């Protein structure tokens, strides 16, 4: 499908942009004409992703940042830099995330804090920073990566669905709060998607999960990136506060 120019003139920040779903979102936004700030946890992984993209197309307008997303000041400084370079920030994709599988009996309380720090606090920090920029420039779009388990829960690793339910709460609340500033806020809730996160699961668990997907396959990162593109674009001009499931009708 030709999506060239769908985001022409727009700028975006994508967290967790170094691989998996985030890298597919970065690539899709670039292919659609946006300038993108790719955000990762370390300079080395950011540089690697930038090199891959530049190899694919040397004309891509992409820069890298690696703030500590759990630290508000660090996010503010990094996003201010992007705002100076690009002149405005139109789209924020809050995509960085980690998962959990431990049973409650083995769950280290510090790990619960860690997952909340990245999956929830970072979404709050990044949204707070860009909301200020977007209000001043007359609008913008925030898209969060939720998960199908935010709705169903999961049998172990309760911190993960809890964090993604919080993402849904932030999405719906900020959509209501920021609508009058012309800022749309939505989330994409992926099902089982072929990335490192799923590669870390036991093979028999993944096979069992695939049998519960009516479309009969795992999702590709591009399936999720396509939903991000729709929500980022003017085609979704009247869509806000939505949690868009992209999961092949999976039953968790």
- Asked if 28 touches ligand NAD (CB under 6 A), the answer is no
Does the footprint of ligand NAD cover residue 20 (CB under 6 A)? yes
Instruction: Out of 55, 59, 196, 204, name the contact with ligand NAD by CB under 6 A.
Output: 196
How many helices (H) does the chain have, and how many strands (E)?
A: 10, 7
As measured in angstroms, the least distance from the Cβ of 175 to ligand NAD is: 19
Using CB under 6 A as the binding rule, whether residue 242 contacts ligand NAD is answered as no
| Whether 60 is catalytic | no
Closer to ligand NAD at the Cβ: 17 or 248? 17
Q: Which of 60, 72, 160, 238 is catalytic?
A: 160
CB of 102 within 8 A of CB of 51? no
Burial class (CB in 10 A: 0-12, 13-18, 19+), 182: middle
Check binding of 197 to ligand NAD (CB under 6 A).
Answer: yes
Q: How many residues bind ligand NAD (CB under 6 A)?
A: 26
Chain residues 152-171 in contact with ligand NAD, contact rule CB under 6 A: none
Least CB distance to ligand NAD at residue 168 (A)? 12
Spatial distance between the Cα atoms of 147 and 118, rounded to a whole number of angstroms: 15
Rg of the chain, C-alpha, whole Å:
17
Give every strand in the sheet of 35-39, ordered side by side.
Answer: 62-65, 35-39, 11-15, 91-94, 140-145, 183-190, 243-246
Among residues 19, 48, 81, 101, the one that binds ligand NAD under rule CB under 6 A: 19
E strands, 80-123, are: 91-94
Q: What gap in Å lies between CA 226 and CA 249, rounded to an integer?
A: 17
Establish if 193 lies at the interface with ligand NAD (CB under 6 A). yes
φ, ψ at 213 (rounded to 5°): -110, 110
When the beta carbons of 182 and 230 are compared against ligand NAD, the nearer one is 230
The nearer residue to ligand NAD, 40 or 64, going by C-beta atoms, is 40
**Which residues ranging from 67 to 126 are in contact with ligand NAD (CB under 6 A)?**
69, 95-99, 118
Neighbours of 174 (CB within 10 A): 23
Residue 198 near ligand NAD by CB under 6 A: yes
Per DSSP, the three-state class of 64 is strand
The binding site for ligand NAD (CB under 6 A) comprises 16-22, 40-41, 45, 69, 95-99, 118, 145, 147, 190, 192-193, 195-198
- The catalytic residues are 160
């Amino acid at each position: 499908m030709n999506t060239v120019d769908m985001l022409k003139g727009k700028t975006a920040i994508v967290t967790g942009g170094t691989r998996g779903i985030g890298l597919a979102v970065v690539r899709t936004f670039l292919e659609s004409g946006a300038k993108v700030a790719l955000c990762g946890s370390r300079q080395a992984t950011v540089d690697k992703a930038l090199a891959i993209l530049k190899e694919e197309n040397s004309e891509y307008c992409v820069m890298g940042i690696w703030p500590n997303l759990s630290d508000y000041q660090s996010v503010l400084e990094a996003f201010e830099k992007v705002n100076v370079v690009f002149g405005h920030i139109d789209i924020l994709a809050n995509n960085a995330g980690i998962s959990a599988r431990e049973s409650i009996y083995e769950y280290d309380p510090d790990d619960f804090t860690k997952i909340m720090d990245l999956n929830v606090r970072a979404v709050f920090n990044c949204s707070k920073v860009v909301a200020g920029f977007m209000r001043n420039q007359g609008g913008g779009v925030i898209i969060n990566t939720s998960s199908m388990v935010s709705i169903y829960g999961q049998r172990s690793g309760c911190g993960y669905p809890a964090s993604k339910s919080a993402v849904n709460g932030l999405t719906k609340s900020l959509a209501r709060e920021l609508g009058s500033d012309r800022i749309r806020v939505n989330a994409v809730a992926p099902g089982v998607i072929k990335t490192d996160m799923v590669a870390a699961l036991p093979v028999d668990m993944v096979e069992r999960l695939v049998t519960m997907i009516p479309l009969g396959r795992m999702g590709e990162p591009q399936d999720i990136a396509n939903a991000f593109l729709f929500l980022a674009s003017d085609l979704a001009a009247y869509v806000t506060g939505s949690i868009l499931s992209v999961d092949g009708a999976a039953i968790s």
